[in-house]
Amino acid sequence: MLKLDLTKAAAVVSAAEVAAYESRIAAAQKALEEGTCAGNDFLGWLHLPSSITPEFIAEIKATAEVLRKECDAVVVAGIGGSYLGAKAVIEALQNSFQWLVNDGKNPTILFAGNNIGEDYLFELTQYLSDKRFGVINISKSGTTTETALAFRLLKKQCEQQRGKDVARKVIVAITDAKRGAARTCADKEGYKSFIIPDNVGGRFSVLTPVGLLPIAVAGFDIAQLVKGAQDMEQATAATVPFAENPAAQYAAARYALYTAGKKIEILVNYQPKLHYISEWWKQLFGESEGKDGKGIYPASVDFTTDLHSMGQWIQQGERTIFETVISVEQPEHELLFPSDEENLDGLNFLAGKRVDEVNKMAELGTQIAHVDGGVPNLRISISRLDAYHLGQLIYFFERACGLHCQLLDVNAFNQPGVEAYKKNMFALLGKPGYEKETEEIRKRLG
Ligand code: PA5
């Protein structure tokens, strides 16, 4: 089971200071469980893992099989919560050099609709021009510009390359049950489709088809991912005592640090495969907390890579930060450092050691240095980087985020700030219905 260590934050927040939040965490748990918190129509994630049935997993797997059989490449079109969860899990589980080592057993998974880069889309369509490809179109609203733009291009290309009948088989929609252009299109074209439950917001949706289908298409064990989340749902339940509940402890420690002036949390990993877990985490916490002039700013670094860039700032910059390290106890492979007769690089003192031992000593050395430098360190450890432990990690963060937002007294489940750029973009592009805004913005720009 995932472990949480708060002892290296004790110089700033002691165990007693964290424990002082016990009753507020209990109230937060109650508000989530009883649905009395702000945004209570978006609490579907809370008991989502335990509600997933083997039949549902089988249905996802059956659709994944069709795509795996019919496609060499599958493009997942989506942005934000409709993208980052799948990307994070796939990157964490797949070979670091998947592009180069793909043995044809699994389709190549590509992502689009998460940016509007013309070169990106051009190069993607060029790459796909000789591929048997399919598309998973993911959008809860069904109207997100980035995703809709990419999907229109990909749909046309897929139909042209593979014919309308095959395209119908290899395009899958994951969207709202009734609303939005993605639903209209899926129903009209007769695509296989999955529903994003009304009460699950994008950034909490990785354990719905939004994440599960792409992860299954990539060839990973979604039953184990769900099992990990189910176990964590139990381990973080309201009935679990505060002192034994990792999500409650993490939420309380973060809040204590925040009130002690630590406004920035840096999520640290020592495995390049975890890079996108950090991106997913940043969205989860950033979009949930950052409102009403409040919220911890979620940042991330990949160590030891970034020790050679951001390490300086972390060690000696402004003391408004704390770190949360995700540590993986056991790598999936073993690689011993070789001895060398000439020892020209002077590294024979490492001969016979596992590379991971060097990595772990870098981790420990960094923790000591950063704590000495005034950076409180929280540490989350998982025994392996596999589907089961990723499931635990995902639910752990979701629950902690839900709890922490109650402490902050913000609505964890809306994102009103995201709309501001969209209104201006539509006005600037002359979207019908935005005439007044177009006029206003033109005047402002002169
Ligand atoms: O967390 C969220 O709600 C957002 O990040 C959305 O997932 C993102 O904006 C994409 O929205 P949609 O799925 O409606 O296309």
The CATH number fitting domain 3-36+226-408, selected from 3.40.50.2300, 3.40.50.150, 3.40.50.10490, 2.60.40.1180: 3.40.50.10490
Q: Give kind and range of the element (H or E) at residue 321.
A: strand 321-330
Distance from C-alpha of 228 to C-alpha of 143, rounded to nearest angstrom: 32
- Whole-number mean pLDDT of the chain? 97
Q: For 164-183, what is the mean pLDDT? A: 97
DSSP states of 186-198 as a string?
A: HHHHT-EEEEPPT
- pLDDT tens profile 221-263: 999 999 999 999 999 999 999 999 999 999 999 999 999 999 9
User: 42 CA distance to ligand 1 centroid (A)?
Assistant: 13
The answer to whether the Cα torsion of 153, 159, 165, 169 is positive or negative is: negative
Q: Which of 21-30, 99-108, 120-129, 281-290 has the lowest mean pLDDT?
A: 99-108
- pLDDT tens profile 363-400: 999 999 999 999 999 999 999 999 999 999 999 999 99
| Domain parsing of the chain, residue ranges | 3-36+226-408, 48-220
Query: Is residue 308 annotated as part of the catalytic site, yes or no?
Result: yes
Question: How much is the pLDDT for 386?
Answer: 98
Phi then psi for residue 48, to 5 deg, are -60, -50
Beta bridge partners of 74: 109, 134
Query: Is residue 287 annotated as part of the catalytic site, yes or no?
Result: yes
Which parts of 105-174 fold into alpha helices (H)?
118-128, 145-170
User: 140 CA distance to ligand 1 centroid (A)?
Assistant: 7
Contacts for 371 with CB less than 8 Å, ≥ 6 apart: 8, 11, 377
Assign domain 48-220 to its CATH superfamily: Glucose-6-phosphate isomerase like protein; domain 1 (3.40.50.10490)
Q: How far is CA 385 from CA 87, 125, 269, 443, in A?
A: 15, 33, 12, 54
**Which residues sit with their C-beta closer than 6 Å to ligand 1?**
79-82, 139-141, 144, 147, 201-203, 287, 415
3-36+226-408 and 48-220 have identical folds: yes
Task: State the pLDDT confidence band at 103, using cuts at 50, 70 and 90.
Answer: confident
